[in-house]
Structure 1
Amino acid sequence: MRRLGATILCGFSILLSSTRPPIFADAFDFYARGPYRPSVPRPSQLLGYEPGEFHTDFRGMERVIFAIAQAAADRVRVIEYGQSYERRPLRLLLISAPENMNRLDELRARIQKLADPRRLSSPEEAAAIIRTTPVVVWLNYANDGNESAAFEAALQVAYHLAASEEPKTRELLENALILINPAHNPESHERFVTWYNAFAVGAEDRFAYEHNAPWGLSTNNNHYQIDLNRDALASTQIETQALMRAYLQWNPQVFVDHHGQTTTFFFPPPASPVNANLPKAYHEWMEIFGRGNADAFDRHGWAYFARDVFDLFYPGYWDSWPSLNGAIGMTYETDGGGSRGLRWLREDGALVTLRDGIAKHFVASLATVETAVRHRERLLQYFYDFKRTAIEEGARGPMRRFVLLPGNDPGRAAELVATLLRAGIEVQVTQESFSSRAAHDYLSKTAAARSFPAGAFIVDLAQPQMRLAKALLEPEAELDPQFVKRQLEIRERNERRGKNVPKERYEFYDVTAWSLPLAFGVEAYWTEDAPRVRSIPLTLDESGRVIISDERKPVVAGGVSGRATSAYLFSYETNAAARLAFALLHEGYKIAVSTRPLRADGRDFPRGTLVVPIERNPESLHERIAQLARECGVNVYAAASAYPDRGETGIGSPAVIPLRKPKVVVIAGDGVSVTSFGAIWFLFERRFGIPFIPMTLSSLHRANIFEYDVILFPDGSPSIYRATLGDRGLERLKRWVSEGGVLIGIGGAAELFTQKGVELTTARVLGAEEEAPASPGSSAPSPASAQASAERPMRPLPVPGAILRATVDRHHFLTFGYEAEHLPVLVNGARFFTRSRDGANVVTFEGKELHLSGFIWPNNTVELLSGTAYLIHEPTGRGHVILYAQDPNFRLFWHSLTRLFLNSVLFAPSLR
């Protein structure tokens, strides 16, 4: 039997090899540029397979880099710069010639002087540094960790630079400090390769299982499913924060982020638009590096493209963020690997392999270092000039200073300041009041003379980080007029095409608005002047809190005013208050919310104030709430009496309603946007300590949903949600809601609940259905209304991420903590909800003055958005259906919307 089995297996292998093209036909030679030091082991010798035969895991990568570093200690140093959420070490390999390795501290100090020209004694000192200092090149791999060719290429590039004795390579090492980050996002990579290695058979068919990983396993995202290649804007994740610290220590002049998978290889120049804060010289460098890569690829006869698809507008990518720091930041996209696995059959019948993807990244990486060394002095000069002119332009430009006011939520303003400090941007807190002759208000878009109080945060633009600071803080990013013109022309052509004719795609790659003061909800101004004001620099302590540099004192502190005999009260105007409320509930303390403005001890408290009564809580409350208030940064008032000296609402009023700890389900799995789920996960677990149960829809079918208070559907596919739930599941949800459940839908999930046949709300998606014909006997529309209807566009065009002004119903429990009439929100896509007829339209778009920032379509966006709803509440029986037209947790930097989202979890289960 064994012999027969072996014969069959052998025959099957022969058949397989005769019908499937070999993976490495005309394989690229990674070792053509020798000779190599025999003492330095090749990755294949350490791993037991050749590049592209198998996916290397994190431990395999560690084995390779440590062996290389040990064998080539004169050229290589391993630097640990942080740790991922799953506790994987984040490491850099620094590779250079021995003479450079022996004076790294000196060389880094020189670069630091170029990064801040104020530290230089003279232009001559700068010239001397530029003349004698190696260029710093950072090669970043596995940012999107499931784009697996990058990770593998890092090992081959590291080996070549560490081991090659080729004269050309030795010249590179003499003139460059090369930083290799093999695993920017180790969790994304490890998830993918563990699954792929377990199930791959090497099938090239695009429908093979190995090319279609289960939900959540093949994503670009980190442990919390947050996209690190968008996170440089607000640095919400520890991997981003660690990378920024390392980046600012080394200040590279060239930074390349390696990705995949495109039809053919992409390298710069990028597509339009490019962030307007970058100088003209940056575009010249794009041409230089693009041509350097093209020459290398042309020698191999490889296809590639440039100036298409991948723009450089949003400042949160890992090409745009380094560029705004003075580097030549670039994205490279290879064709093999990732979801295409070991091998993939193109539509034209050609085969692309993981090895192909590795080879192209390998060649592009080395070509980039060669270009950088060829232009070493010019690159260092560009870096120095970038920083020098930033200071000069910041001192004389139309924007001189940003002013950020702490307002009612100093913790949120401090988080914005922390975001800036993590990016190396200088921020100060004023010690006295000051005035500006022309301060521009972000919300009203008007300018006027204005006085500012002591305690304001200021960002003066006469600093080396001016361009990055401006990109993050300016109210609106400037779009290239020619790019805008081209999109309007595409629209015109699309509108002339019949419904069966394919439409041209618009060229927006990502959102067009992100102004951090608007997203954080911080009152902000930019001023045309920067008068002298006594101020103190701010910095971050070891825990990431903003502190006053000289005093080591946090800018935000909380605490309790004394020992209460009636109740502890704290306003709900801050995000930190929500954190404190959830912490108290989680620990079993009894808390309540005042649904009306409250009066206690001769003081007024706004609606939404949280009340923690002494009567129904244990003695431990006094000590514990004081400790939690300090930790959360919340000011808690200790009330001595429940008697209101005036007004109708006091501590014991029926309008003060007890809150219960909610049992929350968050839907996960097929149909769910992994990034929407991930943002909720991070928000609940890391920021607010809210326990929740992730659950797939198939599990929801089997669960006793009547045990849960809240079922939250993240953004996702309405069609997949509906198909998976089925009519029976939807009917069950409706019954659960009517008996007291809180059903929350975001984005696509909210759209599902508006659909015909589901109808958990009377709202509808605008343009989803044609207007129904008039019923018999109904009156005909007037000529005027008919003309208005004809002139009004019927369907919204997709908005590429713009910030618009919404109007808040300040009498609804979902807006507890929001007392301003207007609120900036992100509108992304074409999902506009008509108002509910039977429910409450809690946040809406009113009138024509909606635009705050970003691109919107003329004669379409405002006209159709006006009169629609952003947030809808449908009371149903004893329960609630709550719908968000857009994701309020988008990329985790919309701090202004955090409580608008949390209110549906904190208050809805207890309020009827």
Structure 2
Amino acid sequence: MTKNARTRATLALLLLLTALCPPATAQDRVEPGGRFDFYARGPYREQVPRPQSLLRYDVGEFHTNYALMERVIDAIAQAAPDRVRVFDMGLTNEYRMQHLVAVSAPENIARLGEIKANLKRLSDPRTLSQEEAQRLISNTPVALWLQYTIHGNESASFEAMMQVLYQLAASDEPATLDILKNSVALINVCANPDGHERFVTWYNSFGVGDPEPSAAEHEEPWSVYGRVNRYRFDLNRDNVATSQVETRNMQRAFLEWNPQVAVDHHGQPSQFFFPPAALPVNPNLPPEQTERWLSAFGRANAAQFDQRNWDFYVRDVFDLFYPGYWDSWPALQGATGMTYETDGGGWKGLRWKRDDETIVTLRSGIAKHFVASLTTLATAASNREARLRDFYEFKRTAIEEGRTGRVRRFVILPGRDPGRAAELVENLLRAGVEVRRTTAPFRSARAHDYSSKDSPAATRDFPAGAYVVDLAQPSKRVAKSLLEVHTPQDEAFQREQLARFARNERRGRSAAKEEYGFYDITSWSLPLAFGVEAYWTEDDSDVQGSPVTLPPQTMPVLRTEPEPGVVSYAHPELPYYVLGSPLIRPGGVTGRAQVAYVIPYERNGAASLVFRLLREGFKLAVSTKTLNAGGRDWPRGTVVARVSRNPESLHERIAQLARETGVDVTAVGTGFPDTGETGVGSETVVSLRRPKIVVAADDAVSTTGYGAMWWTFDRMGVDFTPMTIEGIKNAKLDNYNVVILPDGSAGTYFARFGKDGVDTLRGWVERGGTLVLVKGAAVFGALKDVNFTSARLVGSDEDEQKSDAPAAEPKPAPSPSPADTEEEEEAAGSNARPAARARGRQTRQPAASTPEQAKVSSAQTEKMEGAPPDLPPIASPSARPGRVPEAVPGAIFRAAIDRRTPLTYGYEQETLPVLVASGYFFRPSKEGTNAVVFSADTARPLHVAGFIWPTTEQLLRGTAYVIDEPAGRGHVVLFAEDPNFRAIWRSTTRLFFNSFLF
């Protein structure tokens, strides 16, 4: 039966059912494509097994786990060694091997090493002439990176991958053979194995295919949430921090192959999405080339979808701005980076009822990814030379821009914490950026610091040992995107957001507000986030130095005798974390102490060293004043390990841990201070207690907020006990001295704790406990029925200063730029996710558009061109313009530090760059210590980088970022934002640790 005949038969059956069934049931129907034929593009080679012959179930009937998928790809590779090679990229945290499968024509597979070398040469135009480049372009297949299941619960892409692999390995269809001849498909079979395994294990044991949105199978438990990896990181945001082992595995493989096209397969909006991308687009990308290729692939996919009557959308929701995505990061490397979002599967399960009563299925979601993947391969293959030439041109023009552009060089100084600077450099090296370390001092006549995006140029001398990133290199675009102070956004996009803001400011308190178009944070400058001293220069004079490289990391060889078609990379990443960097000299101890060891507390590694010593039972103390020991002064916050109070093993253990954490520890031979009143035996050197930590792990908690804390603790050697909120309410809390509530939903926290739970926490704090509240949890603590702090939120009903704040007339924002994150959705609890997800990608709704906006050109450059905002005719009497903060989409501000409190031990500077990614602005505490604040002095600029609203800086002034609120013998510490955000913000790590260490 032909497809049209099958469709007609299906429609006839549906008409019959409509007559026989009750109206509510009669409206349920499966969309066309629900029984897509995956084997219509043959003939197929008989020796290559179909996935279903190994899995024993049909496409879309069941979710495949990782081990079964490995069985499928290994069987196909062994049956088709002439077309397929399997590479092992490295292990995950849960010891699953990540695989990259290369598929191409036999003649290409036979010279796969040569093809890889050719692509490597094309990626560096400095090494070949135009004639040599053309020769390589004429004789080299185009390479495509097809990545599946970076969000583990987006299951349709996982299943589609196996069908794509089979089609390429088994089909002798002429169109498929042409793809194989002209391209190398690099299939990243599963970017997030651990998250996917959690999801499919849960769903397979629980789901029954009920399409009702309220069915339990569409609500993953908090502990399952398979979108994220083991450490609950969103791997589609991690290319900035490169903190996760999966990210490092994939980045290394990507840069080894240098592909020209990269597709990241996702789910599940209401309809399929493919490019062109929405605004904003990262300005470091060449606009004409980027738009041309996104449109070419988008139109090719549109033709295939139109032919099948499949719905889709373009240029909405999914932008190309933040460099941490797996479309933008490849794009900055020279590939055409694209996100594809299918509508079936994932949290929608086997079947899902839409708001119009139609049913979308896992199988139909698989079919759409299958068609889009093959269409992308065919489009690239038919444009092989043009795509390779533009890849070469992308690299060539990047070098030229680096030579002639205003920004020529970045300089990073090791400073007082060389470990953090080295970790930043490691991030750059993993992104393929060339870095040198100077061996002699040099001078720049036009150097700019990072105090603001418009800091003036000045002559500056730099020491030997500085890291230098010259932009006249092939990786210029990714280097500049990661390092620049501020990344500007499309002006048309900014105007549209400001117009929506102006309208929202005039609407009543209960009226629906327009959604903004921010998909993620708008500022991420690594020098600011890592808290290292850095500069950018307009000149690029010669400097003496040598290239910086990462030493290879090794792991046990799992396949000593590779199976046919299987190759292992030489140095896969280890699946665990070690603090410190191989780029810096290990720490250690100078001499053997007679009296004490002094641990300077100026590096992040020092916090790790202190925790590890405390965990092992050693007795430590901290100096609350300037300490004199070992012939010099040490600042407040310096940690002391007294020999008299510790076992003999202290000498050996502190030396070993100092080497591992990169801390220089000083051995002291006498307790007599040469100057001052404070020596190692003084009364002001007070004992530390080992933190015994409970962390809330429940529906109220942001999954990624919890994960960033978990990863940071593991990395720093801090042990903790995760508990549900019910567990915290019923636990013997006096066995612990620290309770941490990570970022989450204030309302859900209150609902889960209730009055009795709040009273339990309050009594425990008053008996000497430390309660740490992060972001949304801090809002919970400020609720009037909780009252853990005297601080109140700006603009809240309890804000006593709200009447004093004059209404501000909207004016042009000092520096518009975009962002809210997936944390907002997670903070509402896992049970709130499906409603948000049904609207589109998890973090925001597709923005409402006017008829004029619907007619935008593909480049979207004339959207709202010069037009004033279309405002409501009157402002609502209940509107409060300028009084309630609008959520900031992830911008960087400079906060002032109170250096007289233990919360800021280790911070000797006056200010600290911090991320603001919410509208949670806290009035200063009336009774506690406001340890880090945003200055009320209008002469001191706050905003450094990223998009802000016209009223943001005014409302932020005079508010607190960190508050220490005393309560009985204990205290409550509140963070207005997450100091561990995505493992990017390393500058606030010790601030977080100080909250419960001192």
TM interval, short-chain normalised = over 0.9
Q: What is the CA–CA distance in structure 2 between the aligned matches of 1:785 and 1:213, rounded to whole Å?
A: 43
Instruction: Please state whether the residue corresponding to 2:549 is helix, strand or coil.
Output: strand
Q: 1:786 to 1:118 in 2, by over 3 A?
A: closer
Instruction: Please state whether the residue corresponding to 1:539 is helix, strand or coil.
Output: coil
Amino acid in structure 2 at the alignment position of 1:692: F
Matched, 1:833 2:922: yes
- 1:515 counterpart (525, 528, 537): 525
Q: How does 1:116-127 map to 2 (within 5 A)?
A: 116-120=124-128, 122-127=129-134
1:799-832 CA-to-partner distances (Å, cap 9, x unmatched) read 0000001000000000000010000000001111
- 2:214 counterpart (179, 184, 207): 207
Amino acid in structure 2 at the alignment position of 1:819: E
Q: What is the CA–CA distance in structure 1 between the aligned matches of 2:29 and 2:462, rounded to whole Å?
A: 71
Per the TM alignment, residue 182 of structure 1 is displaced from its structure 2 partner at its CA by 1.5
What's 2:548 paired with?
538
Instruction: Please state whether the residue corresponding to 2:962 is helix, strand or coil.
Output: strand
Q: 1:788 to 1:855 in 2, by over 3 A?
A: closer
What's 2:784 paired with?
756
Per the TM alignment, residue 43 of structure 1 is displaced from its structure 2 partner at its CA by 0.8
What's 2:423 paired with?
415
What's 1:875 paired with?
966
1:111-158 CA-to-partner distances (Å, cap 9, x unmatched) read 0000112222x2111000001100001110000110000000000000
1:13-58 CA-to-partner distances (Å, cap 9, x unmatched) read x999x98867998611111111111111111111111111000110
Per the TM alignment, residue 698 of structure 1 is displaced from its structure 2 partner at its CA by 1.1
Whether the 8 Å contact between 2:806 and 2:882 is mirrored in structure 1 is: no
Whether the 8 Å contact between 2:422 and 2:583 is mirrored in structure 1 is: no
Instruction: Please state whether the residue corresponding to 1:712 is helix, strand or coil.
Output: strand
What's 2:340 paired with?
332
What's 1:6 paired with?
none
Amino acid in structure 2 at the alignment position of 1:877: G
Matched, 1:460 2:465: no
Q: What is the CA–CA distance in structure 1 between the aligned matches of 2:389 and 2:754, rounded to whole Å?
A: 63
Amino acid in structure 2 at the alignment position of 1:902: F
1:180-218 CA-to-partner distances (Å, cap 9, x unmatched) read 111110011110010000011110000001001111313
Matched, 1:54 2:62: yes
Q: How does 1:628-667 map to 2 (within 5 A)?
A: 628-667=657-696
1:425-471 CA-to-partner distances (Å, cap 9, x unmatched) read 11111001000001001015232010001111111111110000000
What's 1:818 paired with?
907
Q: What is the CA–CA distance in structure 2 between the aligned matches of 1:904 and 1:705, rounded to whole Å?
A: 18
Q: What is the CA–CA distance in structure 2 between the aligned matches of 1:634 and 1:721, rounded to whole Å?
A: 39
TM-score computed with the length of structure 1 as normaliser: 0.94
What's 2:736 paired with?
708
Q: 1:22 to 1:553 in 2, by over 3 A?
A: closer
Q: What is the CA–CA distance in structure 2 between the aligned matches of 1:463 and 1:498, rounded to whole Å?
A: 53
Matched, 1:864 2:955: yes
Per the TM alignment, residue 555 of structure 1 is displaced from its structure 2 partner at its CA by 2.7
What's 1:133 paired with?
140
Whether the 8 Å contact between 2:154 and 2:345 is mirrored in structure 1 is: yes
Q: What is the CA–CA distance in structure 2 between the aligned matches of 1:806 and 1:419, rounded to whole Å?
A: 26
Instruction: Please state whether the residue corresponding to 1:615 is helix, strand or coil.
Output: helix
- 1:528 counterpart (538, 558, 572): 538
Q: How does 1:496-515 map to 2 (within 5 A)?
A: 496-515=506-525
What's 1:844 paired with?
933
- 1:70 counterpart (72, 78, 87): 78
1:501-556 CA-to-partner distances (Å, cap 9, x unmatched) read 3211111111000000000000010000111111011111134999xxxxx98433
Per the TM alignment, residue 678 of structure 1 is displaced from its structure 2 partner at its CA by 0.6
Q: What is the CA–CA distance in structure 2 between the aligned matches of 1:825 and 1:882, rounded to whole Å?
A: 17
What's 2:152 paired with?
145
Whether the 8 Å contact between 1:649 and 1:655 is mirrored in structure 2 is: yes
Q: How does 1:406-805 map to 2 (within 5 A)?
A: 406-443=414-451, 445-543=455-553, 554-685=583-714, 687-769=715-797, 793-805=882-894
Q: What is the CA–CA distance in structure 1 between the aligned matches of 2:369 and 2:160, rounded to whole Å?
A: 6
What's 1:8 paired with?
none
Q: Runs of 5+ in structure 2 lacking a partner?
A: 1-19, 555-570, 574-580, 810-878
Per the TM alignment, residue 93 of structure 1 is displaced from its structure 2 partner at its CA by 1.1
Q: What is the CA–CA distance in structure 2 between the aligned matches of 1:786 and 1:582, rounded to whole Å?
A: 47
Q: What is the CA–CA distance in structure 2 between the aligned matches of 1:716 and 1:159, rounded to whole Å?
A: 43
Per the TM alignment, residue 602 of structure 1 is displaced from its structure 2 partner at its CA by 2.3
Per the TM alignment, residue 772 of structure 1 is displaced from its structure 2 partner at its CA by 6.3
- 1:853 counterpart (936, 945, 952): 945
Which structure is higher in RCO with an 8 Å CA cutoff and minimum separation 6? 2
1:343-376 CA-to-partner distances (Å, cap 9, x unmatched) read 0000001110000100000000000001101111
Q: 1:675 to 1:788 in 2, by over 3 A?
A: closer
Q: 1:788 to 1:188 in 2, by over 3 A?
A: closer
Per the TM alignment, residue 773 of structure 1 is displaced from its structure 2 partner at its CA by 11
Per the TM alignment, residue 710 of structure 1 is displaced from its structure 2 partner at its CA by 0.3
Per the TM alignment, residue 73 of structure 1 is displaced from its structure 2 partner at its CA by 1.1
Q: 1:325 to 1:658 in 2, by over 3 A?
A: same
Whether the 8 Å contact between 1:235 and 1:419 is mirrored in structure 2 is: yes
Q: Runs of 5+ in structure 1 lacking a partner?
A: 1-13, 547-551, 775-780, 908-912
Amino acid in structure 2 at the alignment position of 1:657: V
Q: What is the CA–CA distance in structure 2 between the aligned matches of 1:311 and 1:24, rounded to whole Å?
A: 29
Q: 1:773 to 1:171 in 2, by over 3 A?
A: closer
- 1:275 counterpart (268, 272, 282): 282
What's 1:3 paired with?
none
Q: What is the CA–CA distance in structure 2 between the aligned matches of 1:610 and 1:770, rounded to whole Å?
A: 41
Amino acid in structure 2 at the alignment position of 1:257: D
What's 1:4 paired with?
none
Q: What is the CA–CA distance in structure 2 between the aligned matches of 1:543 and 1:616, rounded to whole Å?
A: 39
What's 1:549 paired with?
none
Instruction: Please state whether the residue corresponding to 1:356 is helix, strand or coil.
Output: helix
Whether the 8 Å contact between 2:890 and 2:916 is mirrored in structure 1 is: yes
Percentage of identical aligned residues: 56
1:459-515 CA-to-partner distances (Å, cap 9, x unmatched) read 111111000000000000011111111111111222233334321111111100000
Whether the 8 Å contact between 2:784 and 2:798 is mirrored in structure 1 is: no
- 1:161 counterpart (164, 168, 173): 168
- 1:225 counterpart (232, 239, 249): 232
Q: 1:107 to 1:651 in 2, by over 3 A?
A: same
Q: What is the CA–CA distance in structure 2 between the aligned matches of 1:786 and 1:457, rounded to whole Å?
A: 47
Whether the 8 Å contact between 1:84 and 1:239 is mirrored in structure 2 is: yes
Aligned length: 877
Per the TM alignment, residue 771 of structure 1 is displaced from its structure 2 partner at its CA by 5.5
Q: What is the CA–CA distance in structure 2 between the aligned matches of 1:648 and 1:852, rounded to whole Å?
A: 41
Whether the 8 Å contact between 2:505 and 2:880 is mirrored in structure 1 is: no
What's 1:249 paired with?
256
Whether the 8 Å contact between 1:410 and 1:556 is mirrored in structure 2 is: no
Amino acid in structure 2 at the alignment position of 1:152: E
What's 1:778 paired with?
none
1:63-121 CA-to-partner distances (Å, cap 9, x unmatched) read 1111111111110111101111000000011100000000011111110000112222x
Q: 1:804 to 1:22 in 2, by over 3 A?
A: closer
Whether the 8 Å contact between 2:530 and 2:984 is mirrored in structure 1 is: yes
Matched, 1:383 2:391: yes
Whether the 8 Å contact between 2:551 and 2:582 is mirrored in structure 1 is: no
Q: What is the CA–CA distance in structure 2 between the aligned matches of 1:405 and 1:47, rounded to whole Å?
A: 55
Q: What is the CA–CA distance in structure 1 between the aligned matches of 2:378 and 2:464, rounded to whole Å?
A: 52
Q: What is the CA–CA distance in structure 1 between the aligned matches of 2:293 and 2:806, rounded to whole Å?
A: 56
Whether the 8 Å contact between 1:24 and 1:355 is mirrored in structure 2 is: no
